[in-house]
Amino acid sequence: MDNGKISVRYARALFQIAQEQGCEDAIYNGLSHFAHNYSLAIAQFNEVLADPIVAPKEKVKLIEMAVGNPMHDTLKQFIAFVAEQKREDKMFLIALKYMEMYRTKHGILNTRVTTATELTESSYDKIKAFIKQTFDAEAQIDAKIDPSLIGGFILDIENTRMDASVAGQLNALKNKLK
């Protein structure tokens, strides 16, 4: 079966259970933490979770460690269920799909702002207000600092990029002059 279909089915089931139990926020927070930790060591996670020699209990422990504490009981039971079904290697995709469903339901846009220097709280507020006004949605902002931008910022909202960086403007000028 297709990995995408598997992850969507499992994520949808978890999302429905979380809604019924009123714990969708706690599950979202746990899966966000898991996805962040997973992405830091993606090759190692993939290797361990896909290895048939590693015991399912050890895979469950690894996933639970990546989720962190406190972990909602529903998520703990779901992880055990995924392991019983021998789908541990799909857990990252399941987490991403769940998070996508949660953000869609709650009108949250995944946003990344890349700047040359640290942003002020006022700048964050302006970005959030811009997204609220333009997209009628809340922003979940991930900030990144990249000194090579020289100045300005790059704003990635879901699949849309707005480049207002000095480096981007210099590259655009360079391309026009060619």
- CA dist 56 and 129 (Å) reads 46
Kindly report, residue by residue over 112-136, the tens digit of the pLDDT. 999 999 999 999 999 999 999 999 9
- CA dist 139 and 103 (Å) reads 10
Q: Are strands 108-115 and 153-157 parallel, antiparallel or unpaired?
A: antiparallel
- Pick from 48, 144, 124: nearest CA to 91: 48
pTM greater than 0.85: no
Q: In the chain, where are the structural domains located? A: 3-104, 107-177
Question: Can you read off the two tokens belonging to residue 89?
Answer: 């290697």
The arithmetic mean of pLDDT across residues 84-104, rounded, is: 95
4 pLDDT above the threshold of 90 = no
> Quick one: pLDDT at residue 173?
87
Quickly state the pLDDT bin for 1 (edges 50, 70, 90).
low
The per-residue DSSP string of 15-61 comes to HHHHHHHT-HHHHHHHHHHHHHHHHHTHHHHHHHHH-TTS-HHHHHH
> Quick one: pLDDT at residue 65?
93
Whether domain 3-104 has CATH 3.30.300.20: the reply is: no
